[in-house]
Amino acid sequence: ARLTASRAAPERQRSMHVVYPSGEISIDFLTRKVKNSTPYEIKVDIAAELPDPLGAADEGFYAACLGLARSPVPAHGTVGAVAMAEAAEADILAKIDA
């Protein structure tokens, strides 16, 4: 896996590109455009159910922290995200120290 993140990008960009043996999926979270070359259908238009995905994620997180709702992300998902962030940090620090 390759994870790229930057707060110093020349332009605003939120995207994800996933490569599978069966094809590729690219998502532009700003324009909500999806390119899917896999043989599988994916739900592209979620605007009616989730008009502001980032806001919904924040609200779900805050509600869970306050004990008002269950976390929208299961614990095993958060463990994986933390592991990925820690691996990215370790890689960056190793390159800085090199």
In a domain, 8, yes or no: no
In terms of DSSP bridges, do strands 23-28 and 33-36 run parallel, antiparallel, or are they unpaired?
antiparallel
In a domain, 2, yes or no: no
Look at the pTM and tell me if it is higher than 0.85: no
**Residue pLDDT tens, the chain, 98 long:** 566 666 677 787 778 888 889 999 998 877 878 899 999 888 777 666 666 777 777 888 889 889 998 877 777 777 888 888 888 888 888 888 76
Question: What is the number of structural domains in the chain?
Answer: 2
Together in a domain, 60 and 93: yes
| 12-29 exposure pattern, b = at least 16 Cβ within 10 A, e = fewer | eeeeeeeeeeeeebebee
Tell me which residue range forms the domain holding 19: 13-51
